[in-house]
Chain A
Amino acid sequence: MNLILFLLPASILRFWNEENRYPLATTNTPQSDMAGIRGEEDDVNEGLPKLETTPESTTTSTTFVMRNEDHTLGNALRIVISRNPNVTFCGYSVPHPLESKMHLHIQTKGEEEDETLLPGLKEIMSMCDHLGDVFDEAESEYYISSGR
């Protein structure tokens, strides 16, 4: 069966691959996710899943495909996930500048890959939340010290 699968084009493989741990997620790219050259009605990624894995992914070597994402999140995720001791490799790429997609590839020593992406996301989230609080404090500090 696997041999036959190899001969099929990748687009069909995506649907047929039973190994795919993240089949078409039920949340599609949110409507307010306005990236793309010209958001609104002609957002090409509308209706497609926000997060997917490629058919070649295994439990220890996964490539996540994120739609409507770019270097903003990609680089930050890459750095944060690389700090995880269980991660042997982490890299991201934007396959084509005209296509709003980002690939994030993670290889682990043996732990499940969703143990690496989720903590990475949570860390960025907590960093940003903290950033918001610290910024508010710094702003009041400035007003106090400048005598307003």
Chain B
Amino acid sequence: MASTRTPLIEVNFLDDYNINFVLSNTDVSIANALRKAIISEVPTIAIDLVEIEENSSVLADEFIAHRLGLIPLVSTRAMHADGPVPFRDVEGNITSFLWHHEASDDKDCEIKFELEVRNTEDNPMEVRLILIRLLEVLRHGGGVKPVEYDPEYPVVIAKLKRNQAIKLTAIAKKGVGKMHSKWSPASGVYFTYEPVVTINYERMEGLSAQQRKTWVEACPPGILRFNEMTGQVEVEDEINNGIAFSGECEKVAKELFGYDFYDLIVIKPKSGSDGYPDRFNFFVETNGALDPVTLVRAAIWELVRKVQNIEESLRTGEM
């Protein structure tokens, strides 16, 4: 087997909803597997069944039920007991939140919410997330509730006019993004390669200082700069990964100076010793169901679990 490469990670930025880290010394297929696991394989909790008792709002029953399903619920409760961040109840015991089809008792796999709103005033009223009441606390608690974003900008489920009302019970269950995107804890995940920018200085000789300056100004910012002193185009020290591979620089060069200048600049992903890119700049943004660190840890663990399942089958099959 070729030498096993050990991956490296450096975290560049971390806050309550975002994490930016660089994954290096590994293959793009692993980076992609991690990305897919973050989006679709990490279990979360979301409303899955809505029993509507009364709805005199302008929105249809299923419309409201759909919106309720999309509400992100704080899902640390759904973390696997064997995983990297198991959930501990008030006594410190590790308990699992079960899949709906494998639990024998409702309390181990369902969380019930209730929403009852009646507009008795003249003014139109907004049905906000805060009004959702946790009806039945799970056997072992869990802190499952709608994610609180900015209190100044509350999330609105519906709006009611005078004498309109909504009364419903909602049941939340465990699920993964693969089943329905409401269970996906990620609101934006992507990784970019690290760019290597090569300027063709021979081609550059064919341009005057003014032309070079025009080109640098027409290019998206963050890749090149024009040095007034030397009259040369230089590569920025901190390249903006997001725009580097868009092809804008090359396109602008062709538009301004003609097709001959298509190779004025070449931007390629930085490759490792085997000729393939091995540095990936990850950006993970969560919707609040899980914090970014727990999310990435859980995603890595889900990949391990997948491999373990197959290994187990391989072993028992040989018996």
Q: A residues engaging B (CB < 8 A)? A: 22-23, 25-27, 30-41, 49-51, 66, 69, 71-73, 75-76, 78-80, 83-85, 114, 117-119, 121-132, 134-139, 141-143, 146
Number of interface residues of B (CB under 8 A): 54
Candidates B37, B100, B316; contact of A40 at CB < 8 Å: B100
Tell me if B178 counts as interface (CB < 8 A to partner A). Answer: yes
Query: How far, in angstroms, from A18 to B175 measured CA to CA in the complex?
Result: 40
Chain A residues, CB < 8 A from B27: 76, 79-80
Q: Identify the closest chain B residue to A41 (Cβ).
A: B101
Total inter-chain residue pairs, C-beta < 8 Å: 162
Tell me if B314 counts as interface (CB < 8 A to partner A). Answer: yes
Min CB distance A86 to B, Å, is 9
Candidates B33, B176, B179, B310; contact of A121 at CB < 8 Å: B310
Known: A40-B101, A72-B41, A139-B293. A35 touches B309 (CB 8 A): no
Tell me if B21 counts as interface (CB < 8 A to partner A). Answer: yes
Cβ–Cβ contact A75 & B29, under 8 A? yes
Query: How far, in angstroms, from A83 to B30 measured CA to CA in the complex?
Result: 14
Known: A27-B312, A38-B179, A131-B7. A73 touches B306 (CB 8 A): yes
- 23 CB-based A-B contacts, threshold 8 Å: A22-B317, A26-B319, A27-B309, A34-B99, A35-B178, A36-B178, A51-B313, A72-B33, A72-B306, A80-B27, A119-B1, A121-B307, A121-B311, A124-B30, A126-B4, A128-B307, A131-B7, A134-B8, A135-B21, A135-B297, A139-B11, A139-B293, A141-B11
Cβ–Cβ contact B307 & A124, under 8 A? yes
Query: Which positions 275-319 of chain B face chain A at CB distance < 8 Å?
Result: 293, 296-297, 300-301, 303-304, 306-314, 316-319
Cβ–Cβ contact B311 & A69, under 8 A? no
Cβ–Cβ contact B11 & A142, under 8 A? yes
Chain B residues, CB < 8 A from A124: 30, 303, 307
Chain A residues, CB < 8 A from B5: 127
Cβ–Cβ contact A32 & B102, under 8 A? yes
Query: How far, in angstroms, from A126 to B100 measured CA to CA in the complex?
Result: 32
Cβ–Cβ contact A123 & B36, under 8 A? no
Cβ–Cβ contact B178 & A34, under 8 A? yes
Query: How far, in angstroms, from A114 to B178 measured CA to CA in the complex?
Result: 30
Q: Identify the closest chain B residue to A81 (Cβ).
A: B1
Query: How far, in angstroms, from A139 to B99 measured CA to CA in the complex?
Result: 30
Q: Identify the closest chain A residue to B301 (Cβ).
A: A132
Q: Identify the closest chain A residue to B293 (Cβ).
A: A139
Tell me if B26 counts as interface (CB < 8 A to partner A). Answer: yes
Query: How far, in angstroms, from A39 to B318 measured CA to CA in the complex?
Result: 29
Known: A32-B102, A118-B311. A127 touches B21 (CB 8 A): no
Chain B residues, CB < 8 A from A72: 32-33, 36-37, 41, 303, 306
Query: How far, in angstroms, from A47 to B269 measured CA to CA in the complex?
Result: 45
Query: How far, in angstroms, from A141 to B301 measured CA to CA in the complex?
Result: 21
Q: Identify the closest chain A residue to B13 (Cβ).
A: A142
Known: A40-B100, A121-B307, A121-B311. A138 touches B29 (CB 8 A): no
Q: Identify the closest chain B residue to A28 (Cβ).
A: B313
Chain A residues, CB < 8 A from B178: 34-36, 39
Cβ–Cβ contact A71 & B36, under 8 A? yes
Tell me if B2 counts as interface (CB < 8 A to partner A). Answer: yes
Chain B residues, CB < 8 A from A30: 309
Cβ–Cβ contact A127 & B4, under 8 A? yes
Candidates B8, B12, B179, B318; contact of A34 at CB < 8 Å: B179
Chain A residues, CB < 8 A from B7: 127, 130-131, 134
Tell me if B235 counts as interface (CB < 8 A to partner A). Answer: no
Chain A residues, CB < 8 A from B21: 135, 138
Interface centre among A85, A123, A143 (most CB of B within 10 A): A123
